[in-house]
Structure 1
Amino acid sequence: MLTYLAAALPRFTSPGARLLALQCALRADASGRLRVPRGLLRGMRMYGRTELWQELARARWLHLPDLKSAPVEVQLRDVTLDHAPGRRTRCHAAHWALHPAPSALLATAPPAVRLTALVLAAHTSAHEQHGVDMDILARLCGHSPQQTAELLDQLVSARALNAWHHNRESDEVFWKLPQQQAQTRLVVSPGRRQAPQPWNPA
């Protein structure tokens, strides 16, 4: 679904709008309709964020809903969910995406950091070393490679990652997760950044 959104939305769609679009895409029925409870929006720190809905409407990805209704009734324009996994599977994924293990962060973390943690969690395997191409990572995060590197530094500072490394020859990004903190909820505190740990997986 992250790959689908990377293709369906403009590249530099804001992280907050991407997180909202992800929840909508995962919760919609085959006709692209869904109802978004206010409690869910509050939990995502997106209640009252009309600019995110407007951004997705300008991208022609959904019809701008009546945000005064409760719940918010949404109609997606891009209905390609008939080829996606079943709705029950997608609803389970929607719940997981709110607290993506093992890179779980509190909802108070900035949307860009939460989205990066979610993308990493989606590419995390059972192996100790995890990796993905920088171009793919940056595209899924909706940022440039340089901005994505800064977000990875923030995840290290927040102790959501032990370390990360960019192999410029292969253009792959590798990362290591904390061994004993897989279920720990972490808060990224802007302005309190520690130097990221250097790491070379070779």
Structure 2
Amino acid sequence: MWRLADACTACAAATEQAAVVPDTVLFPRRHQARRAARRRHRAARGPGDRVRVAEMLSYLAAALPCDMSAATRLIALQCALRMDSRMLVRLPVGVLRGLRLSTPYVWQELEEARWLRTLPGHRGEVVAELLDSALLSQYPSRPDRHRAADWALRAGRAARTAGEGPHVQLLSIYTSALSDPATGQGQGEIDRMQRECALEEHGVLTALDRLVATGSCAWWRACPDTGDVQWCCTSEPVMRDAGPSCAVPGRW
């Protein structure tokens, strides 16, 4: 019978019938650590985080029922970006608290739509199996999708900090995803914004005003000829007092 225990080199040398393990045995572990570090710092493959989030929002607008709430769409976005190859997702409770969405009705909506089913999980996380097999074709690289999910959390942070509802949070993610990273400017069709953010036409305008009030958006305006909406996102949102909005809406 062998009895194994960790000890320092001096104790091992002074212990009867003990042996000192050479350092060369530890080389594979160091090699694995270096390989893991390379994986952590590897370059993203395919489109960037903004494009991944924008395309996933567009896909969910078609895959989910049109009357599904904005809060449920926020959860669906995180689930779709964080699932593994078996279509399982483990969503930490901390993510739900960060989204300020800890109510069970969002999961009930997704189950009633037969988009996922929740499974018994461990304390501190929600485990679910996604039932939409078409998601497997949406960029299978899991680390890159996780980065996009984290980017979406950061994109809606200013709206959450201001105490805004899920509609404004989702619109904040939408406008950030469709903005030029260099200038912060973006443009979108009003009907597409309604579908992907679960908003009515006038709700889009009100939510844009709230983005300006929270500092997520510098300005926005409606194009009277095309019916599109243009905006400019700020690189570092600054909280502002809830005063008159500086939005510049145009005529429809």
TM-score (normalised: structure 1): 0.84
CA gap of 1:88–1:113, structure 2 versus 1, over 3 A, is same
Instruction: Give 1:56 shift.
Output: 1.1
Corresponding position: 1:137 with 2:193 = yes
Residue 121 of structure 1 corresponds to: 176
1:62-101 to structure 2, matched below 5 A, reads 62-66=116-120, 69-85=123-139, 86-100=141-155
Instruction: Give 1:106 shift.
Output: 3.4
Instruction: Give 1:128 shift.
Output: 5.4
Query: Which amino acid is the alignment partner of residue 201 of structure 2?
Result: P
Query: Which amino acid is the alignment partner of residue 23 of structure 1?
Result: Q
Determine if contact 2:72/2:110 at 8 Å carries over to the other structure. Answer: yes
CA gap of 1:61–1:169, structure 2 versus 1, over 3 A, is same
Determine if contact 2:215/2:237 at 8 Å carries over to the other structure. Answer: no
Point out which structure has higher relative CO (alpha carbons under 8 A, 6+ apart).
1
CA distance in 2 between partners of 1:52 and 1:171 (Å): 32
Residue 45 of structure 2 corresponds to: none
SS at match of 2:155: coil
CA distance in 2 between partners of 1:66 and 1:120 (Å): 35
**RMSD, aligned α-carbons:** 2.4
1:48-197 to structure 2, matched below 5 A, reads 49-66=103-120, 69-85=123-139, 86-100=141-155, 104-107=158-161, 108-125=163-180, 126-127=182-183, 129-178=185-234, 182-184=235-237, 186=239, 192=242, 194-197=244-247
SS at match of 1:168: coil
The unaligned stretches of length 5 or more in structure 2 are: 1-55
Query: Which amino acid is the alignment partner of residue 168 of structure 1?
Result: P
Comparing 115-124 with 77-86, greater Cα deviation is found at 77-86
1:3-22 to structure 2, matched below 5 A, reads 3-22=58-77
CA distance in 1 between partners of 2:105 and 2:206 (Å): 25
Rg larger in structure: 2
Alignment length (residue pairs): 192
TM-score (normalised: structure 2): 0.68
SS at match of 1:60: coil
CA gap of 1:12–1:40, structure 2 versus 1, over 3 A, is same
Between the aligned residues of both structures, percent identity stands at 33
Corresponding position: 1:35 with 2:90 = yes
Determine if contact 2:217/2:237 at 8 Å carries over to the other structure. Answer: no
Output one character per residue of 1:46-87: Cα deviation in whole Å (capped at 9) or x when no partner.
22x101111111111111444785422101111223211111
Give the counterpart of 1:2 among 57, 80, 91.
Answer: 57
Instruction: Give 1:39 shift.
Output: 2.0
CA distance in 2 between partners of 1:68 and 1:88 (Å): 23
The unaligned stretches of length 5 or more in structure 1 are: none
CA distance in 2 between partners of 1:105 and 1:146 (Å): 19
SS at match of 1:148: helix
CA distance in 1 between partners of 2:185 and 2:92 (Å): 38
Output one character per residue of 1:95-133: Cα deviation in whole Å (capped at 9) or x when no partner.
1110118x8433543111110000000100123532111
The runs of 4+ residues in structure 1 deviating greater than 3 Å are 64-70, 103-108, 184-187
Determine if contact 2:159/2:214 at 8 Å carries over to the other structure. Answer: no
Query: Which amino acid is the alignment partner of residue 145 of structure 1?
Result: E
Query: Which amino acid is the alignment partner of residue 187 of structure 2?
Result: G
